[in-house]
Amino acid sequence: MPVQLKVPSLGESVTQATVGAWLKKEGEPVQVDEPLVEVESEKATVAVPAPAAGILRKVLRATGDTVNVGDVIAEVEEGAAAQSTATSPFGSGPMPGGVVPVARSVNGSAAQAAGASAPAAAPAPTPTPRAEPRPSPGLVAAPEPAPVPAVRASPSARRLMAEQGVRAEEVARVAAAGQVRKEDVERVLGARDGGAQPLAAVPAAQPAPEAGPRERVVPMTTLRRTVARRLVEAQHTAAILTTFNEVDMSRVLALREKHGEVFLARHGVKLGFMSFFVKAAVDALRAFPAVNAEIRGESIVYKDHYDVGVAVGGGKGLVVPVVRDADALSFAEIEKTVGELAKKARDNKLGPADLAGGTFTISNGGVYGSLLSTPILNPPQSGILGLHKIEKRPVVGEGDAVVVRPMMYVALSYDHRIIDGREAVSFLVKVKEGIEDPERLLLEV
């Protein structure tokens, strides 16, 4: 009996995803928990593992199809004996070695590719029923106002709309791609109370533009669309200001030079710069808790934990995985965690749990050669620290002597609604002091 491969839960409020690359072809043997297909949501790309060992019998949804959480997208025939009986879901006869060509119908489902050599008596495939999104267990669906055509709302958004009396017409203007999220409803409520104004109306989905001479039209991935939406959202919902300083990296470079080989031999990971900046940031966050806080409605939520997001370039774009409880980790543990998360990002294996819940972010544009930049907040966080290229520059040292030092510009972008300029500048000075005197970070003084 075939075992169904379903779209797994992809995190809170995520109900839809896009089918990515199939890692196995129909008719190929698979092992239990072996990755079969990538599923891309607005938060992460997840590799869906095989539910059982056997043969990938049917691929029910093609790459690029939009699916709901819980939808059946493939079937696996358990046991090696299934290899001789596996047949194509797009027609009868033995299973070919490769994926059967499919054509998209108007509604996006897979259909049998027409061909002159296809058997005349081949039956048409039975459409696979699509599973409807289900509310979270224990959640009673709240009554909704009359829906706006072509607009869907997540369960959390529907509940908040019902609780606050928000009409679908109000929130539809700011809903991206026809999907109303909880954040959209919160922006409408903020505008009602005289807070941040909601985004301008999102235009209806447009057909793909035709490519002109020497042009290529490539649809944005779900992750890239989400990054674009969140960056614009940050600009519209927060009062972003940036303050700058420069850091003398001499002491950190000397420590790495002196202890780097022993550190690598003992811990199996190189001593990089990120562990120093994570430690310095946590030290500064303790001193200035507003930078580790966020605004919820008309309240400020101060967080007594330090989950630091580290922006990395993933296989499909910029992602910000989170180093949990960074204040409790050693330098080696921070370096190992950052290395593991960066590898998962490059391999597109980050899950929703890797990305959710950060309280502060560090972005290192210096690895790409950036000398100075103004980083954008990662909502709902209130602060982000930007690191830049280390460059030797002449500076005035003791006794007014001009010396050459390895210097780095650092930038703190912050939400001016809850962080005053004095706090922001003092925070960045605290980071500077920690990096220029790294022994203080080791001794926690």
C-alpha closest to that of 338 among 315, 316, 320, 317: 320
Q: How far apart (Å, rounded) are the C-alpha atoms in residues 326 and 309?
A: 10
More confident residue, 110 or 219: 219
More confident residue, 269 or 90: 269
pLDDT recorded at residue 366 = 92
**Residue range 361-397, pLDDT digits in tens:** 999 999 999 999 999 998 889 999 999 999 999 999 8
Q: How far apart (Å, rounded) are the C-alpha atoms in residues 73 and 67?
A: 8
- Mean pLDDT is highest, among 74-88, 222-236, 402-416, for 402-416
Q: How far apart (Å, rounded) are the C-alpha atoms in residues 320 and 339?
A: 13
Q: Which domains does the chain have, with CATH numbers?
A: 2-100 (2.40.50.100), 150-202 (4.10.320.10), 240-443 (3.30.559.10)
pLDDT recorded at residue 107 = 38
pLDDT recorded at residue 18 = 85
Q: How far apart (Å, rounded) are the C-alpha atoms in residues 103 and 112?
A: 6
Rounded to the nearest 10 degrees, the angle between the axes of helix 331-346 and helix 274-287 is 110
CA distances, 216 to each of 209, 220, 223, 315 (Å):
10, 12, 20, 20
**φ and ψ of 201, to 5 deg:** -55, 135
Burial class of residue 346, CB neighbours in 10 A (0-12, 13-18, 19+): middle
pLDDT recorded at residue 351 = 79
Arithmetic mean of pLDDT over the chain: 78
- Mean pLDDT is highest, among 133-142, 143-152, 190-199, for 190-199
* pLDDT score of 221 more than 90: no
- Mean pLDDT is highest, among 4-13, 112-121, 248-257, for 248-257
For residue 238 the two structure tokens come to 């927060």
* pLDDT score of 251 more than 80: yes
Phi-psi region of 123 (alpha: psi -120 to 50; beta: other; left: phi over 0): beta
pLDDT recorded at residue 80 = 53
pLDDT recorded at residue 108 = 39
* Residue 59: pLDDT band with limits 50, 70, 90: very high
Q: Please tell me the pTM assigned to this model.
A: 0.61
**Residue range 333-358, pLDDT digits in tens:** 999 999 999 998 888 788 778 888 89
* pLDDT score of 70 more than 80: yes
* pLDDT score of 40 more than 90: no
Q: How far apart (Å, rounded) are the C-alpha atoms in residues 64 and 83?
A: 27
pLDDT recorded at residue 198 = 44
C-alpha closest to that of 386 among 413, 360, 418, 407: 413
What percentage of residues in the chain have a pLDDT greater than 70?
A: 73
Measured at the CA of 97, the angle between CA 92 and CA 103, to 5 degrees, comes to 60
Phi-psi region of 401 (alpha: psi -120 to 50; beta: other; left: phi over 0): beta
pLDDT recorded at residue 434 = 96
* List of long-range contacts for 31-37, beta carbons under 8 Å, 24+ apart: 36/5, 36/74, 36/76, 37/5, 37/73, 37/74
Burial class of residue 297, CB neighbours in 10 A (0-12, 13-18, 19+): exposed
* pLDDT score of 413 more than 90: yes
Q: Which residues are catalytic?
A: 416, 420
Burial class of residue 296, CB neighbours in 10 A (0-12, 13-18, 19+): exposed
**Residue range 224-236, pLDDT digits in tens:** 777 787 778 888 8
What one-letter code names the amino acid at 199?
Answer: L
